[in-house]
Amino acid sequence: MPRARASATSSNTSSSPESVAPSAALDQALGTLHGVGPARAAAFAAVGLHTVRDLLLHLPHKFTALPHPQPIARLAAGSDAAIVGRVARIVPSRRRQGATRIDVEDASGTLALVFFHQPHVGSAFARGAFVYALGRVGDRDGKRFLAVGTYEFVAAQDSGRPAAALPIYALPDAVPPRLHRRLVRGLSESLAPLLDDWRVTTALSADELLPLGRAVAAIHGCADEVELAAARRRLAYDEFVHHLRPLVAARAQVERSIKPDVVRVGADEFDRLRAALPFTLTRAQRRVLDEVFADLARPMPMHRLLHGDVGSGKTAIALLAAAAVVRAGHQAALLAPTALLADQHARTAQRVMATLRVPCATLTAATTARERKQLHARLAAGEPLLLIGTHALLVERVALPRLRLAVVDEQHRFGVVQRGRLRAKASAVDLLVMSATPIPRTLALAVFGDLEVSALDELPPGRAPVATQVRERRELKAVADDIRDVARSGGRVFVVCPLVAQSEQQDLIAAETLATKLSTYFKGQPRVGLAHGRRKPEDNAAALAAFRSGAAPVLVATLVVEVGVDVPEATLMVVVDAARFGLAALHQLRGRVGRGARASRCILVAKDGKPESRERLDVLVDEHDGLVIAQKDLEVRGPGQIAGSRQHGVLDFGFADLARDVDLLARAQQDLRRLLDAADVRAIEQALRASPSALRARVAATASVGPG
Ligand code: ADP
Ligand code: MG
């Protein structure tokens, strides 16, 4: 038995540095274990598991909760339940694929355990043995039976359940789960406590977090819920540390670099900048500008995230910061996720920048080759100006020798990877990243852990909440009449159709179909425009211009209007098949209206008779705080939806939960910062190599290069 072998090497649990035995036991090749022959060892190796240490660090990805057993007589048909019984009779399957039946009894009665599709299961059972079985209680001709999902042998009738839960592992096919569990349970009791704890190795203080070895043992053993919960916390913390390490290291790197110039904005200059805006700054905007200007004046580069609710006025921050930098003789860049938004920023900037005598240039896909060449020359010569463009500027080879500030708008379309690319391109540049939505604290830490955070937590005065209602598809005709009335009385109406990756084609047709249908229904009055990602940028720009001017006051669009589009005359937002969107995205869409003086509305159209989706949409009827909505979305739909980073799987945790574990995440960040101050990155990387997360990353990498 592996247990016997393990205990022979684990007598010295104090693991004094002189004793080599613990690490030798952990470094044992898997093939030396009882029950692991060469074939199984090879199967383990193929997924990246080589030693006992690997096996211990390979943690379950799921757990089946094991309920307490009930007396057989009390089982109710149709429910899931567990029993403990003594094996009385074994009835092997008569056909190869037939069910095996095992009769068991307890003090209250007898019960047939039925095993489907396990023709050989009977051989594991012996008369008189006690078995814990969990399954669905069925009824055949008035006799109850248990269709067994999971079973374990126990010592006695009154043993109770064998554990609080059953760990489920990702395993190669050659390794039967039952064997694996037995193997790991035996090893982990004696050997897991010997695992090095990187927290201790890196001199992080002992505290209420379980030592790594105990957490690992508890996760494999699943003895009771309290211990499992404590183990989960420790492992979640480790996952956060593993995830944050590159972010915190990037941050430390930034803090060590020195800018060639700083920009100081005095009180007089601040007043001149402010006066160029057509409105008075909110208190929050002033505070954030103070933070940004303080960063500009500091020798180390700014790396700041600005988040705030839809319509909180983030653009004004970007423009004034850029103006200050250009007026001090430098170049600034404002990057938007779409050409539509870049054009809009250019329009807004033009007015403000003309007042401030700040030269502006726009560079998008629509810029002609000749203009482009001229512009490149001006930029390369170091002419101070504000360059506005799409994120594509990052990829294009644009020389910006005097670039001092880069503002990246609508970050949720702009992932961790691009941010790294930007940093590589301009390491000592001040960077201001603006998120389209307010970001729950955990997400801000997890995705933007390398950035300082500013929040615009106040809306400009006079904003009434957008009255929101949920309708159904069969009411579309009434909604269309509503759209027509609003448009004919001088308002503007957005009509948004969903666009989902796998059925893009179909949904584009849906947007086009709806535009045509509305147009026909309105008999050309009002005119209906169309904008979506498959059209040419100049066509979209023309549609938006016609929308702005009122020439085509109804705009049918896909998510291209989700972020940033700012048309103050828009008073009605209609979202078709709204349940296909996350709450945060809907709140974003709703933020496209309610920007002017007129009262605005939002109509969310749900599919007919789908109460669940209606219920979710109803959240938006009552709730208007973007942060609350984002937090709800995080809980319901997970982080990728809000952070826009799902494409990289970076927020794919096993034990950590971003909606719940704020404290652990903050703690992981603090600890890492402390470590990076005290030691160098390499030492920490070395220590972390012995963590379950590191193993998980290695196993994932091994598995993805292997066959299949
Ligand atoms: P977001 O934060 O969503 O990017 P914008 O910067 O587009 O918001 O601003 C939304 C609208 O509010 C714009 O029409 C802008 O002109 C206006 N706005 C911004 N700040 C103020 C303010 N302090 N007072 C009045 N209106 C403002
Ligand atoms: Mg914006």
pLDDT at 414: 52
Q: Using one digit for the tens of pLDDT, what is the confidence trace for 243-252?
A: 888 888 888 8
Tokens of 155: 């010592």
CA 420/CA 545 separation, integer angstroms: 34
CB contact at 8 A, 522 and 528: yes
**Architecture of the domain spanning 467-623:** 3-Layer(aba) Sandwich (3.40)
Protein residue closest via CA to atom 4 of ligand 1: 314
Asked whether 411 lines ligand 1 (CB < 6 A), one says no
**Sheet architecture: strand order including 570-575:** 467-472, 601-606, 570-575, 492-496, 554-557, 528-531
* 310 pocket-lining for ligand 1 (C-beta < 6 Å): yes
Q: Please indicate whether residue 344, judged by its CB atom, sits closer than 6 Å to ligand 1.
A: no
- Residue range 501-513: mean pLDDT, rounded: 58
315 CA to centre of ligand 1 in angstroms: 7
Where in the chain are all domains bearing CATH 3.40.50.300? 267-456, 467-623
Counted residue by residue, the chain has a size of 708
Sequence-separated (6 or more) residues with CB below 8 Å from residue 86: 104, 105, 106, 128, 129, 130, 157
> Does 56 have pLDDT greater than 50?
yes
* Atom 5 of ligand 1: nearest residue by CA position: 313
Looking only at Cα atoms, what is the longest distance across the chain?
A: 94
488-499 mean pLDDT: 90
Residue 365 or residue 275, greater confidence: 275
**Index of the ligand 1 atom closest to the CA of residue 312:** 2
Residues in a beta bridge with 549: none
The CATH classification of domain 67-162, taken from the options 3.90.650.10, 3.30.1490.20, 2.40.50.140, 3.40.640.10: 2.40.50.140
Is ligand 1 within 6 A of the CB of residue 314?
Answer: yes
**Ligand 1 in contact with 460 (CB < 6 A)?**
yes
pLDDT for res 313? 93
438 lines ligand 1 (CB under 6 A): no
Q: DSSP code of 524?
A: T
Q: Name the residue at shortest CA distance from atom 1 of ligand 1.
A: 311
Q: How far is CA 434 from the centre of its chain?
A: 18
- The rounded Å distance from CA 582 to ligand 1 centre is 24
pLDDT at site 647: 38
Does the pLDDT of residue 500 top 70, yes or no?
no
Write the residue with the smallest CA distance to atom 23 of ligand 1. Answer: 281
The mean pLDDT value for 209-227 works out to 92
Closest ligand by atom to 587 CA: 1
pLDDT score of 2: 38
Query: What is the average pLDDT value for the chain, to the nearest integer?
Result: 85
206 φ/ψ sector (left φ>0, alpha ψ -120 to 50, else beta): beta
pLDDT value for 198: 77
- Write the CB contacts of 500 (distance below 8 Å, at least 6 apart in sequence): 507, 580
Q: How far, in Å, is the centroid of ligand 2 from the Cα of 566?
A: 8
CA of 410 to the centre of ligand 2 (A): 7
Cα separation of 355 and 648, whole Å? 43
Asked if residues 557 and 496 have their Cβ atoms less than 8 Å apart, the reply is: yes
Output the residue whose Cα is nearest ligand 1's atom 19. 313
Q: Looking at ligand 1, which atom is closest to the CA of residue 314?
A: 2
pLDDT at 152: 92
Which pLDDT belongs to residue 481? 97
Q: pLDDT tens, 624-634? A: 998 898 888 77
Atom of ligand 1 nearest to the CA of 313: 6
Ligand 1 pocket mutation pick from 595, 598, 600, 627 by most atoms within 8 angstroms of CB:
595
Q: Which residue has the higher pLDDT, 291 or 614?
A: 291
Counting ligand 1 atoms within 8 A of each CB, the residue from 315, 347, 561, 571 with the most, and so the one to mutate, is 315
Task: Tell me which of 273, 277, 281, 312 to substitute to probe ligand 1's pocket, judged by most ligand atoms within 8 Å of the beta carbon.
Answer: 312
Query: What is the Cα gyration radius of the chain?
Result: 31
What are the pLDDT digits (tens) for 436-493? 778 888 777 777 778 889 999 999 988 888 999 999 988 999 999 999 999 999 999 9
The CATH number that domain 267-456 falls under is 3.40.50.300
Q: Where are the beta strands (DSSP E) in 528-598?
A: 528-531, 554-557, 570-575
Categorise residue 490: left if φ over 0, alpha if ψ from -120 to 50, beta otherwise. Answer: left
Q: In sequence order, what DSSP letters do the residues of 391-437 get, joined into one string?
A: GGGGTS----TTEEEEEE--GGGS-HHHHHHHHHH-TTSEEEEE-SS
Ligand 1 centroid to 268 CA: how many Å? 23
- Please tell me the distance from the alpha carbon of residue 544 to that of residue 178, in angstroms, as a whole number: 62
Counts for the chain of helices (H) and strands (E), in that order: 25, 20
Say whether pLDDT at 12 is over 50.
Answer: no
227, pLDDT greater than 80: yes
User: Which of ligand 1's atoms lies nearest the C-alpha of 462?
Assistant: 25
Model's pTM, two decimal places?
0.75
